[in-house]
């Protein structure tokens, strides 16, 4: 199942963006073999593998890439693969003997994708960093949060998964599509700082047009506007508004029975503090769930702010099956959706080595090659 059925991809295991990319491609049907260090937890926190959800839908084989046998195995797999991707610092794969040129020598149509924070070149290329560092340098972090506080540390959705893993997946798919026409692979250089910057494209256009201030919480979509904001309710929970268009703003005012705000003043920034005070006072009079009933079926661009454990239970998410339960673990379902070649969670995460014999055989290795590999790595 899945639109990528028939494509073979090698994932050199890492954490964060490469994990996320591997999950996306595997959920869409790609046959991925995940090469990880033997008997080492990705997160290093002792979490059982069944909960390491981004490793789902694909088998993991424990391989010591610092050995000749390990390197030979990966090169052997490259002969059958459409793509290989990794997330080491620049130069690491070359030092292991698995650089793009060596892999391409085994398969000229192979796509070699590289995921880093800073990119393959530039002054910071070889220095350490994490999601927050990359989105800070890309101009994203300074644009988030309240103006009277330091920029917040967001979840690692922007750098790791958005600007990183998602862009890596796009790059792999584009390069494989091109290779299907040209018969030649290429190197994909995906950097989280590049991806995060790319996602800011609209705002750079707005700055150039004089429609956006380069100051935190001073604009339409960064928490300054009273109609694009979260408000506390009487039970200490929150509701979220994103009522940008005028026709929806009128619905908002009508639903709240507000006649002290003229709809024509929606974009009058001088009146935003006054309008915010009115909204804040009104939303504090009911619970979050009571407001959800009030706004049910309206076009006010309203939603309750749900926790991670609440979200799977919401009627809309239940109806669309946005979350699934695999091996007694509730988790997000594959996205996006396809009408004919449906994506699915192929399997729960597996420990390195589980089913290695079957997986390697499926990739064309002989019983003798597999036996030699297993003996060299002392796998059970």
Of the chain, the percentage scoring pLDDT greater than 70 comes to 97
**In which element (H, E) is residue 113 found?**
strand 111-116
SS3 track for 273-298: HHHHHHHHHHHCCCCHHHHHHHHCCC
Q: What are φ and ψ of residue 11, in 5° steps?
A: -110, 115
The predicted structure's pLDDT at residue 355: 75
Sketch out the chain's domains with CATH numbers: 8-199+324-377 (3.40.50.10540), 228-313 (3.30.1540.10)
Of the chain, the percentage scoring pLDDT greater than 90 comes to 89
**In which element (H, E) is residue 94 found?**
helix 92-96
Q: Which of 45-54, 296-305, 339-348 has the lowest mean pLDDT?
A: 45-54
Burial of 284 (0-12, 13-18, 19+ CB in 10 A): exposed
DSSP state of 335: S
Clarify whether 130 is annotated catalytic. yes
379 — pLDDT class (breaks 50, 70, 90): very low
Token representation of residue 209: 């047009």
Convert the pLDDT of each residue in 90-120 to its tens digit.
999 999 999 999 999 999 999 999 999 999 9
Task: Look at residue 361 and give its three-state secondary structure.
Answer: helix
Given a cut of 60, whether residue 307 has pLDDT beyond it is yes
Of 130, 146, 214, 268, which is the active-site residue? 130
Mean pLDDT over all residues of the chain? 95
Query: Is the pTM for the entire model greater than 0.85?
Result: yes
How far apart CA 220 and CA 34 sit, in angstroms, is 43
Of 27, 131, 160, 222, which is the active-site residue? 160
The predicted structure's pLDDT at residue 89: 97
Given a cut of 60, whether residue 42 has pLDDT beyond it is no
Clarify whether 160 is annotated catalytic. yes
20 — pLDDT class (breaks 50, 70, 90): very high
- Over residues 233-248, the mean pLDDT reads 98
- Over residues 205-226, the mean pLDDT reads 97
CB atoms within 10 A of CB 314: 16
What are the distances in angstroms from CA 262 to CA 247, 250, 285? 13, 9, 22
């Amino acid at each position: 199942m899945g639109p990528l059925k028939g494509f073979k991809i090698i994932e050199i295991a890492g954490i964060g963006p490469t994990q996320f990319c591997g999950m996306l491609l595997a959920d869409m049907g790609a046959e991925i073999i995940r090469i990880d260090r033997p008997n080492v937890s990705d997160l290093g926190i002792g979490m059982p593998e069944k909960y390491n959800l981004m490793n789902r839908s694909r088998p993991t084989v424990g391989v010591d890439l610092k050995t000749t046998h390990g390197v030979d195995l990966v090169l052997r797999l490259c002969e059958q693969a459409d793509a290989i991707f990794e997330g080491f610092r620049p130069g690491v794969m070359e030092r292991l003997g698995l650089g793009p040129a060596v892999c391409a020598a085994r398969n000229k149509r192979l796509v070699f994708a590289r995921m880093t924070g800073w990119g393959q070149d530039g002054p910071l290329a070889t220095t350490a960093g994490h999601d927050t560092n990359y989105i800070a340098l890309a101009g994203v972090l300074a644009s988030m949060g309240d103006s009277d506080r330091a920029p917040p540390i967001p979840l690692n959705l922007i750098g790791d998964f958005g600007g990183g893993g998602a862009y890596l997946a796009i790059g792999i798919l584009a390069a494989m599509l091109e290779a299907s026409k040209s018969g030649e692979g290429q190197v994909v250089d995906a950097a989280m700082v590049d991806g995060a910057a790319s996602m800011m494209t609209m705002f750079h256009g707005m700055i150039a047009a004089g429609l956006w201030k380069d100051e935190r919480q001073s604009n339409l979509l960064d928490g300054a506007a009273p109609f694009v904001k979260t408000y506390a309710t009487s039970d200490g929970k929150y509701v979220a508004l994103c009522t940008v268009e005028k026709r929806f703003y009128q619905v908002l005012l009508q639903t709240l029975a507000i006649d002290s705000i003229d709809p024509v003043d929606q974009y009058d920034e001088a009146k935003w503090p006054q309008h915010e005070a009115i909204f804040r006072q009104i939303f504090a009079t009911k619970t979050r769930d009571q407001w959800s009933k009030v706004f049910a079926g309206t076009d006010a661009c309203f939603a309750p702010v749900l926790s991670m454990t609440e979200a799977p239970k919401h009627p809309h998410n239940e109806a669309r099956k946005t979350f699934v339960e695999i091996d007694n673990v509730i988790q997000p379902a594959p996205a996006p959706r396809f009408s004919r070649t449906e994506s699915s969670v192929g399997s729960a995460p597996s420990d390195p080595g589980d089913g290695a014999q079957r997986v390697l055989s499926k990739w064309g290795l002989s019983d003798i090659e597999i036996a030699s590999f297993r003996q060299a790595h002392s796998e059970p």
